[in-house]
Structure 1
Amino acid sequence: MQNPHNAFDLCPDVTGVILAGGRSRRMGRDKATLEIGGQTLFERTLTMLQGIFSRVLIAGDRPDLATAQVPCVPDIYPGSALGGLHAALKAAATPWVFVTPCDLPYPDELLIRLMLDHREGHEVVVPRTPQGLEPVFALYHKNCLPLMEEMLRQGDYRIYDFYPQVRVHHLDVQILSADWQRALLNLNTPEDLRRLKKESLMSPPVVSIVAKSGTGKTTLLEKLITEMKSRGYRVGAVKHDAHSFSIDHEGKDSWRMTQAGADTMLITSPEKIAMVKQNNRAEEPPLTETIQTYFNDVDIVLTEGFKRSAMPKIEVHRRERSPRLLCRGEEHDSTLFAVASDEPLELDVPVYDINDAKGLCDLITECFLS
């Protein structure tokens, strides 16, 4: 069974909302512009939301973050997260909004899609963890708007005070995605940021090679791996397959073990080890989880695909394949940091010759391994 949510499905009746109107008092600086892994927290959240929703807006008076495609909405009742949610819900052209704060370093698409699956018959869908409700990482229907407005007029700013008057679905930890704690982690203080950056240094950096099919992703990836290995780096590689695949041959012992129901099956030899591991409920785990689990012995991981991930990307471009880039044009992917092209391009990121693996490796080394 394949995941029913194709990576390119966009939800048309929900607007993604980034809460970015707070003053970041405890952090002492604007949390939206804090950088993790070469991206601001705002950019990481925006990239993730644009992979799920056809409309995204910013709740808060933030023209510095806004674009023509992603407008900002100032609070009608300023001074609280509820005020931001109210303004966004009032401005949204869709019956639903999904709201998230701008200070989540590891936003998780699977968790959000799980919440979308549970909204039928309800007006609020909100995670409930041992620490309590997560009202600023939740789905809200337009029916909530009059109740929110009445609360704000009365000076009540606690989002969940109107919950008893609407149909609420609580998502408990038993059905949340496996890494819900990581997905709901937020940054409030300088110490939180220092701790996170220290932890992030323990994981290898990841660079995704993306392109339209038939453009030459694998060819470039092979050259990059060869070049990085020649420089003495330990390199991991991940190939993304949007469909089901099998590396077992029918009738072989390993195939028979997997068919019998083994959740994890290993083949070992003096030269190599191979593993077949079944994904729970046919759901592909987040790329960050895969990297942390299987690549702690390498210096860098190069992936093929993962267009919708929040990882830094190099796009491969061939004019005869398509005049348009995946990451520039209708979409502006803030994680793009270089392009490998067979023609000159005027872009806001460096453009290399499609065969210049050495130059691209120089850039990768400078950005992620220095």
Structure 2
Amino acid sequence: MQNSQLGKMKTLTADVTGVLLAGGKSRRMGKDKTQMALSWQRLTMFERALELLQQNFPAVLIAGERPDLAKPDVPALPDIYPGSALGGLYTGLKAAKTDWIFVAPCDMPYPDQRIVERLLRYRNGYDAVVPRTPSGYEPVFALYHKNCLPQMEAMLQQNQYRIYDFYQRINIRYLDPLELPTGWQRSLININTPDDLARLKEERMTPPVVSIVAKSGTGKTTLLEKLIFEMKRRGYRVGAVKHDAHSFSIDHEGKDSWRLTEAGADTMLITSPAKVAMVKQNQNQEPALLDTISEYCQDLDIVLTEGFKRSSMPKIEVHRRERSEHLLCRGEEHDPSLLAVASDSHHELDVPVYDINDAAGLCDLIVKKFLS
């Protein structure tokens, strides 16, 4: 997050403790989920959840008897009433020194910062804020106030563990799909069984891709800039990929990064508080676009590319009459992946035609097709 965003989040979360639920036995999975690392991610699911909590909350604790996961600043506390999610919530809320806790599980591969922010925004006047989707409630990625403790304890002492029954006893605010950020379906996935894991590996949840194509000098980059600005203005996370048919270099001869690459590093990264840059050597063959996006763009809502006119991705063609009378994707070739045309002149086509400067209209189309 940028510094300004961090400042806002610190203000929002000064009275919230992050609680990582790790008291489950992973019986359905058959192995410890806290140690599972998805092959395309740099962290285990436990580490991803812990990172999210530590970035947002001044104090973090683990609810569950897991001394192997504890750190000097992240204690692990055995559940007071073991054996249920409600017991884990009670343990975390009882131990927290703040009025609120935000809970997260250790089996969520794509926990989303934006959902955290949204839940925090709606908490005033309520005892809990919980996402609610067509599949049900998401009780373990939610906010709870200490007002909940008496009702939790009363139920647990009577061996009642159903969180949904607990919700009937408190003043709760549900966040429904229209109030959740785009991409919530991906963010709220839990990995509970080997089948869940296999399905996730199969799908890889690649974000949708739209390619901006045109003949050279038509204005692809200009339109792409406007589209990125408009999508960001609407709150979407946007990736941009530019295709270069030739070899290129982003570092300059003589610089340290260039020297490390020249020395033979297969992957070279430069990190700073603001950015991370990576130079990764291809083995004399450009990887498939989908593979590249799957590897590097999993945390995005949409990827917009410049070029890739030979790909099968949905395309928006940019056209200027002074540059050419003919379109790339309609004419000698009929590209079935053409989504729309942005032009400075009139066309009768089988796809929508937008003014070349109508970034808002094109964004409406992209959102309707891929993000609704």
Range class of TM-score, shorter chain: 0.5 to 0.7
**Distance in 1 (alpha carbons) for counterparts of 2:242 and 2:140:** 33
Summarize the Cα distance change of 1:280–1:151 in structure 2 as closer, same or farther, 3 Å threshold.
farther
Contact 2:186 2:205 in 1 (8 A): no
Task: Find the aligned partners of 1:362 and 1:200 in 2 and give their Cα distance.
Answer: 24
Amino acid at match of 1:114: R
Q: 1:362 aligns with which of 252, 266, 270?
A: 266
SS of the equivalent of 2:101 reads strand
For structure 1, the residue ranges without an aligned partner over 5 or more in a row are 204-263, 299-303, 305-341, 343-351
Larger Rg, first or second structure (1 or 2)? 2
Alignment-derived partner of residue 216 in structure 2: 270
Q: Is the 8 A contact 2:99 2:145 kept in 1?
A: yes
Which segments of structure 1 move beyond 6 Å, counting only runs of 4 or more?
Answer: none
TM-aligned CA deviation for residue 109 of structure 1? 0.2
Structure 1 position 358, deviation (Å): 4.1
> Which letter does structure 1 place at the counterpart of 2:36?
L
Residues in 2 aligned to 1:79 and 1:123: alpha-carbon distance in whole angstroms: 23
For the residues of structure 2 that align with 1:77 and 1:165, how far apart are their CA atoms?
A: 19
Alignment correspondent of 1:91: 95
Residues 283 and 89 of structure 1, relative CA distance in 2, 3 Å threshold = farther
Who is 1:187 aligned against?
A: 191
The aligned amino acid for 2:53 is L
2 CA distance for matches of 1:296 and 1:100?
36
Alpha-carbon offset, residue 284 of structure 1: 4.4
Aligned to 1:147: 151
Matched, 1:51 2:55: yes
Q: Taking structure 1 as reference, are residues 14 and 202 closer, same or farther at Cα in structure 2, changes over 3 Å only? A: closer
Q: 1:138 aligns with which of 139, 142, 150?
A: 142
Deviation at 1:295, TM superposition (A): 4.4
The total of aligned residue pairs comes to 252
Residue in structure 1 matched with residue 322 of structure 2 by the alignment: none
* TM-score, length-scaled by structure 2: 0.60
Alignment of 1:31-180 (within 5 A): 31-36=33-38, 37-180=41-184
Mapped to 2, the partners of 1:66 and 1:23 lie a distance apart of 17
Please, what is the CA RMSD of the aligned residues? 3.5
SS of the residue corresponding to residue 87 of structure 1 reads helix
1:159 Cα shift?
1.6
Aligned partner letter, 2:236? P
Match of 1:25 in 2: 27
Q: In the alignment, what sits opposite 1:310?
A: none
Change (3 A) 1:283 1:50: farther
The answer on 1:6 being equivalent to 2:8 is no
Q: TM-score, normalised by structure 1?
A: 0.60
List runs of 5+ in structure 2 lacking aligned partners. 245-249, 269-279, 282-290, 296-372
- Is the Cα–Cα contact under 8 Å of residues 19 and 101 in structure 1 kept in the other structure? yes
Deviations 1:260-303 (A, max 9, x none): xxxx9x795415622112456846434xxx34xx54979xxxxx
> Relative contact order, CA 8 A, sep 6+: which one is greater?
1
Once the 2 structures are TM-superposed, how far is the Cα of residue 102 of structure 1 from its aligned partner?
0.7
- Alignment-mate amino acid for residue 152 of structure 1: L
Q: Secondary structure at the match of 1:165?
A: coil
Superposed displacement of residue 194, structure 1? 2.0
Trace 1:151-300 onto structure 2 (pairs within 5 A). Answer: 151-200=155-204, 268-270=214-216, 273-274=220-221, 275=224, 276-277=226-227, 278-279=229-230, 282=233, 284-286=235-237, 290-291=238-239, 294-295=240-241
- Per the TM alignment, residue 160 of structure 1 is displaced from its structure 2 partner at its CA by 2.8
After superposition, give the CA deviation of every residue in 1:86-136 in whole Å (9 maximum; x if it has no partner): 001000011000111110000000011000000001111011111121111
Moved more, 103-112 or 275-284: 275-284
Q: How far apart in 2 are the matches of 1:17 and 1:360?
A: 43
Q: What letter is aligned with 1:143?
A: N
User: What's the offset of the Cα at 1:361?
Assistant: 4.1
Task: Say if 1:150 and 1:164 are closer, same or farther in 2 by CA, change over 3 A.
Answer: same
Mapped to 1, the partners of 2:205 and 2:174 lie a distance apart of 35
CA distance in 2: counterparts of 1:104 and 1:22, whole angstroms: 14
CA contact (8 A) 1:279 1:285 kept: no
**CA–CA separation in structure 1 for the residues paired with 2:242 and 2:190:** 24
Change (3 A) 1:158 1:297: farther
